[in-house]
A and B are shown apart, each in its own frame.
Chain A
Amino acid sequence: MALLEVQDLHTYYGNIAALKGISLEVNEGEVVTLIGSNGAGKSTTLRSISGLTPPREGTIKFDGKEIGETAPQEIVRLGISQAPEGRRCFSRMSVRENLELGAYLRRDERIRDDLDRVYDLFPRLKEREKQKAGTMSGGEQQMLAIGRALMSNPRLLLLDEPAMGLAPVLVERIYETIAEINRQGTTILLVEQNANFALDVSKRGYVLETGTVALTDESSALRQNPEVQKAYLGA
């Protein structure tokens, strides 16, 4: 059984259908990529899973449990956490305070360990522990957004365009860390518009077009697909 099973998802913004029947699966331990152009429904898929924009139809099963109508905080508690699109760090809070908010629902003793884990993954964040998030560069804020999402110690991490607006050298660094997070045992579902790096680290991929799944395959096969190359890989 897959860790996450999404069946025939329909999600609306008002009367506008953003998702028109998306189905996908993420197995335990995998990295899965959703690629697609603007408006294809990538972010909406993640927002539906994390409960921020609940779906109108369809089912979302996490670890065998239906979560389609579950409140966002309960979904975080169950073990899904999201680094939202555009980073959305709390700019007037320090790096440390941002990370502590990531552990908002936790009261256990292991928070300290997870903080150390995040600082190991992103040493830059430790250096800037007391700095206000809003004064940091885009790359550092992206690290913080990922680190903050890790602070809830999720089983499934949702990353929404982690490379957005970053220089190529930084994108590479971020993706190295994403691969490392996965090696440490966290399953990852990520969304990316410019899919080169994303397909490198992921095992499988889904191509979304106007709210539906147009294509799904192993990442290596998607990389070779001429249409995917033309549309999403800048080849």
Chain B
Amino acid sequence: MTAIRDFFRSIGDAWDGLHPNVRRAIGVAVLVFFIVLPFFFTAGGTFIDNATRALAYAVMALGLNVVVGFAGLLDLGYVAFYALGAFTIGWFGSSFYAQVNHGKGLHIGVTGVTGQLPGIHFNFLLVLVAAVIVCAIFGVLIGLPTLRLRGDYIAIVTLAFGEIIGRVAINGDSLKPFGYAVTAGRQGITPIDSPDLPGLASFGPLDLRPWYWTALGMALLSLFVSFRLRDSRLGRAWIAVREDEVAAASMGVPLVRTKLLAYATGAGLGGMAGAFFAAYFNTVNADQFEFSFSIFILAMIILGGLGSIWGVVAGAIVLSYINTYFIPNTFKSLPHHIGLNFDLTDLSFGIFGFLLVIMMVLRPQGLIPERRRKLELTEGVGAGDSEMPIEVSV
């Protein structure tokens, strides 16, 4: 393990040693690489499909990382924001509410055939903004009851909220507050409008490249938000709350505001990715909003390194590829070869769990650890051990 650690450390040191302009140039080169990448693959092929999902998962993971990694609030109900984001596009980007405006529909910023359809049809960008707002509000609402709780208790309450939202998604077809059903129940909402973005033609199943670029744009936005927040006054407050809530409060860090902003930010990013996934899969399927999804995203950030932005992106890409590519494709026939007869995808979560255990043994700080946590795990500097009156000498 030391070899791997030294390898990562030497990369980090080399990077820090570079001139800022060189670093900037490398950054731009990497960006250009990712932008032109789809041109080397089949437009509707597996590679772009997998890459698109990985990027959208990275957005989800970066969102959850704000809550769990930065602010230290263990959220086990993150699937709630996947669901709410998906339903936002179901409400504002499909023919679900066909009776609106006497069947003529409501259209903002959409062109072509979509502009003639009944139902509410907002431009994809507007829907993304709406998803962020809806989820941020719900993030705060779900966060409120957890404010007086700590640690594991937060996990239990958020877990419960995740389940509640999942149940509402399934049974919401009989919930009609203004004569309009909240969800379509198990039937699902389909089809979802294809995004209609300037400069990107025809989002569809045959050419996945516009989806890829949209996901890339969202991932870049999430990265930008993550870095800016981490280095801000608020980011410092999150770390303080994570390290020691009482000390943070006595320094004047407003606990309520600080925690709620973490929930809202995390939820907003999750909602954005949720809306994207619904559009990409062309359906809002109420049955997919399960607890296992929350764990899947949580596993990404733990695998990558809690609180570490690049680590989380790496974790998201690795787990996404294992989930959508390696398990169903590469190793699909593995059970068959050893004389067993079952589908490897049935074991997906067993495999993720196994990977997590391996990680905890070999590299508990994650693939690319955050600076502060690395310190805790490798040099024995823990948080909150100052409670005990320890030794003396200066």
* Distance, CA A170 to CA B391, complexed state (A): 11
B198 to chain A, nearest CB (A): 40
Q: Which of B247, B252, B372 contacts A105 (CB 8 A)?
A: B252
Q: Given that A52-B246, A138-B391, A139-B392 are contacting pairs, would A152 and B379 also be in contact in the complex, using a CB cutoff of 8 Å?
A: no
Cβ distance A170 to chain B, nearest Cβ, rounded Å: 6
**Which residue of the partner chain A has the closest CB to B371?**
A92
A130 interface residue, CB < 8 Å from B? no
Question: Which residues of chain A (81-120) have a CB below 8 Å from chain B?
Answer: 81-82, 84, 86-93, 97, 100-102, 104-105
Say yes or no for B388: interface residue by CB 8 A criterion: yes
Give every chain A residue within 8 A of B254 (Cβ-Cβ): 71-73
Does B394 contact A165, Cβ atoms closer than 8 Å?
A: no
CB of A92 within 8 A of CB of B253, answer: no
A76 CB–B CB distance under 8 Å: yes
A104 touches B233 (CB 8 A): yes
Which residues of B from 335 to 394 have beta carbons under 8 Å from A?
372-373, 375-376, 379, 381-394
Residue A231 lies at the interface, judged by CB distance under 8 Å to chain B? no
State how many angstroms separate the Cβ of B267 from the closest Cβ of chain A.
24
Which of the residues B252, B381, B390 comes within 8 Å of A76, measured between beta carbons?
Answer: B252
User: CB within 8 A of B253: which of A91, A104, A170?
Assistant: A104
**Contact partners of B391 in chain A: CB under 8 A:** 137-138, 165
Does A77 contact B394, Cβ atoms closer than 8 Å? Answer: no
Closest to B236 in A: A101
B200 located at the interface, meaning its Cβ lies under 8 Å from any Cβ of chain A in the complex: no
Stretch at the interface among B46-54, B182-190, B237-245: B237-245
Contact across chains for A73 and B243 when beta carbons are under 8 A apart: no
| Contact residues in B for A97 (Cβ distance below 8 Å) | 236
Which one of B243, B392, B393, B394 lies within 8 Å of A90 (CB-CB)? B243
- Asked whether any CB of chain A lies closer than 8 Å to the CB of B249, the reply is yes
- In the bound complex, residues from chain A placing their C-beta under 8 Å from that of B394 are 124, 137, 139-140, 170
Instruction: Pick the residue among A73, A100, A139, A165 that contacts B249 (CB under 8 A).
Output: A73
Question: A50: CB under 8 A from chain B?
Answer: yes
Taking the complex as formed, is B2 at the interface, i.e. its CB lies under 8 A from any CB of chain A?
A: no
Residue A166 at the chain B interface, CB threshold 8 Å? yes
Contact of B252 among A135, A152, A165 (CB under 8 A): A152
The distance in angstroms between the C-alpha atoms of A134 and B28, with both chains bound, is 38
**B375 touching A72, Cβ below 8 Å:** no
A73 near B253 (CB under 8 angstroms)? Answer: yes
Is the CB–CB distance between B385 and A91 below 8 Å? Answer: yes
Chain B neighbourhood of A138, CB < 8 A: 389-392
Q: Which of A133-171 contact B (CB under 8 A)?
A: 134-135, 137-141, 148-149, 152, 164-167, 170
User: Is B250 in contact with A104, judged by CB distance below 8 angstroms?
Assistant: no
Cα A164 to Cα B391 in complex, Å, equals 10
Is B246 touching A137 in the complex (CB atoms < 8 A)?
no
Are B249 and A92 in touch, CB under 8 angstroms?
Answer: no
A5 to B246, CA, bound (A): 24
Q: Is the CB of B393 within 8 A of A91?
A: no
The answer to whether the Cβ of A223 comes within 8 Å of any Cβ in the partner chain is no
A132 interface residue (CB < 8 Å to B): yes
Contacts of A73 in B (CB 8 A): 249, 252-254
Interface-central residue, A77, A87, A134, by most chain B CB under 10 Å? A134
Q: How far is the CB of A75 from chain B (nearest CB, A)?
A: 8
Residues from chain B with Cβ under 8 Å of A87 in the complex:
386
Q: Which of chain A's residues have a CB closer than 8 A to the CB of B246? A: 52, 84, 88
State whether A164 touches B243 (Cβ < 8 A): no
Q: Check B386 against A86 for contact (C-beta < 8 Å).
A: yes
B381 touches A90 (CB 8 A): no
A92 touches B375 (CB 8 A): yes
Say whether A152 contacts B383, CB under 8 Å. no
With beta carbons under 8 angstroms apart, the residue of B250, B376, B385, B387 that contacts A82 is B250
Q: Do A137 and B372 touch across chains, with their CB atoms under 8 A apart?
A: no
Smallest beta-carbon distance B379→chain A, Å:
7
Given contacts A88-B246, A93-B372, contact A148 B251 (CB under 8 A): yes
A165 CB contacts on chain B under 8 angstroms: 388-392
Query: Given A86-B386, A167-B393, are A93 and B243 neighbors across the interface (CB < 8 Å)?
Result: yes
| B387 / chain A contacts, CB cutoff of 8 Å | 86, 88
Check A132–B375 contact: CB distance below 8 A. Answer: yes
The answer for the CA separation of A105 and B250 in the assembled complex, in Å, is 11
Q: Mark A161-200, 1 if CB is under 8 A from B, else 0.
A: 0001111001000000000000000000000000000000
Candidate in B246, B386, B387, B390 with the most chain A CB atoms within 10 angstroms = B386
Contacts of A170 on B, CB cut-off 8 Å? 392, 394
Quick one: CB contact mask for B189-229 with A, threshold 8 Å, 1 for yes?
00000000000000000000000000000000000000000
Beyond A92-B372, A101-B236, A138-B389, whether A72 also contacts B381 by CB under 8 A is: no
A71 to B379, CA, bound (A): 37
- Assuming A76-B250, A138-B391, A138-B392, is B244 touching A132 (CB within 8 A)? no
Contact of A167 (CB < 8 Å), options: B233, B237, B247, B392: B392
For the complex formed, measure the closest distance between the CB of B239 and the CB atoms of chain A, giving whole angstroms. Answer: 7
Chain B 267-310 residues near chain A, CB threshold 8 A: none
Distance to closest chain A CB from B394 (angstroms): 5
Q: Within the complex, what minimum Cβ distance (angstroms) separates A80 from chain B?
A: 10
| B381–A137 touching, CB < 8 Å | no
Q: Min CB distance, B358 to chain A, in Å?
A: 26
Which 6 residue pairs spanning A and B have beta carbons closest together? Answer: A165-B389, A76-B252, A134-B381, A88-B247, A167-B392, A92-B372
* Chain A contacts to B: CB under 8 angstroms: 50, 52, 71-73, 76-77, 81-82, 84, 86-93, 97, 100-102, 104-105, 124, 132, 134-135, 137-141, 148-149, 152, 164-167, 170
Q: What would 4 more interface pairs be, CB under 8 Å, given A91-B243, A101-B237?
A: A84-B247, A90-B239, A93-B240, A138-B392
A-B contact pairs, 12 of them (CB 8 A): A72-B254, A81-B250, A89-B386, A91-B384, A92-B373, A93-B372, A104-B252, A138-B391, A138-B392, A139-B393, A149-B250, A165-B391
